[in-house]
Structure 1
Amino acid sequence: MTDLHRVASNMRRAMLRHRRLIAATSAAAAVWSTVHILSPTPPPATAVAVASHDLEAGTVLSAADVRVIEWASELVPTGASPPDQLAGQTVAGPMRAGEPLTDRRVIGAASMAGYADGLVAAPVRIHDSDVVALLRVGDRIDLYAAAANTGSAAQLLVDQAPVVTLPQLDDDSRDGGLIVIAVTPDDAARLAQASAMAQLSVTLRG
């Protein structure tokens, strides 16, 4: 084989290898483009605050009670509370871990707008859920405590307390219903103590 033939043969082999490399690169690019086109674009996400663990009614929220997760924007619950504004707010009713914190589930400073200075929002569980169903925000009520099976007279704890909000009744309302009233800090402490030892009931003021 002459030198010219050897040079031509080497050039053909080099071109063949080059074509294979180009073909492989083109195939890889085509696969990547197809996958990129077919892969769905992630939906827009919004930071949502949820309960980091089960919460009892009346819990004053701290950083340990709240967890922020990414939620599909179109599925964010109405009234979702801004994560950076929850510290110090009060849970209106029992919550499960992972449940979103919304304006219906927490009681903040806005709930007390228009009430006298020095009053606080106190969640109170009333024994008779049917009575709770009759109440409306703005009603003024008297609260009584009666120890079960003692036969003693009911004790008046608070009189003419305004109803601030009425959280939705639980699916199982055999344990009564929750209401939130505006009272002094001393009255709130007395109500919390009484609710641990007695059943609370209300009468509606005219």
Structure 2
Amino acid sequence: MPPPSPSGLFRARSRSHGRSRPQNFGEVDLTPSVVDRLVAIAKPNRARGSAVRKIAALTLAVLGIALLFRGDPESDTVRVVTAARDVAPGQLVTDDDLGISEFSADHLPDGTLTEFADVVGSTVAGPVRRGEIVTDVRVLGSRLARESTGTDDARIVPVRLADAAVSDIVRSGDIVDVLTVEPDTPNEQTNDNKPTILASGAVVVMVTAAESTRNQQEQVIMLALPTEAATRVAAASLVNAITVTFK
């Protein structure tokens, strides 16, 4: 048998490596094998590596700026006083009525209280729900009087109304006029006592609960008024019957 030709030997060796080779040395194989593709991926590509580094550096820079403007997450929360249970109007606040919770500083209402000492012993002006943030206008005090009347010179005066049925329908936030009848100033034509308006635009800031008094005649309403009007109402309530009209 004659020996194999060089071209036949070349084709045999090519088939032994699992791929086809050109029929002769003048042909070029443009189809890469799987091995060639893996080798190409494994080879370092300087242009691609430079682009990846630039993108990574830009991403880190953006994150750094975002964290700088965001600040410390721990400093964004504030510990504030909250109600540990429902509290009724007129009730004196005790330690057991309060709790401490953390809230975002951006979502806190004005006048939020942060210390138990600012609330304990105060009288609640309106109903407070469990979990509610306690503010300075939820308890009786000078701030509540100022905010209710819109004047710095304001006071809160307690009165008992002559008609107990009126006390039952008065609610916190009502705006009323305070009236009395002067026993020594009768109307000349009818010989009836003439009503006198003691104060206009009084704001009801609290009404004691009926169940907290022995009878309806002892129910008290708290009115926020400028100092002069509050003094006049308080003095008249000592000697005359007091009632209110609603606006």
TM-score (normalizing by structure 1):
0.47
TM-score (normalizing by structure 2):
0.40
Answer with 1 or 2: which has the greater Rg: 2
User: Which is helix-richer, 1 or 2?
Assistant: 2
The structure, 1 or 2, with the larger RCO (C-alpha pairs under 8 Å, 6+ apart) is 1
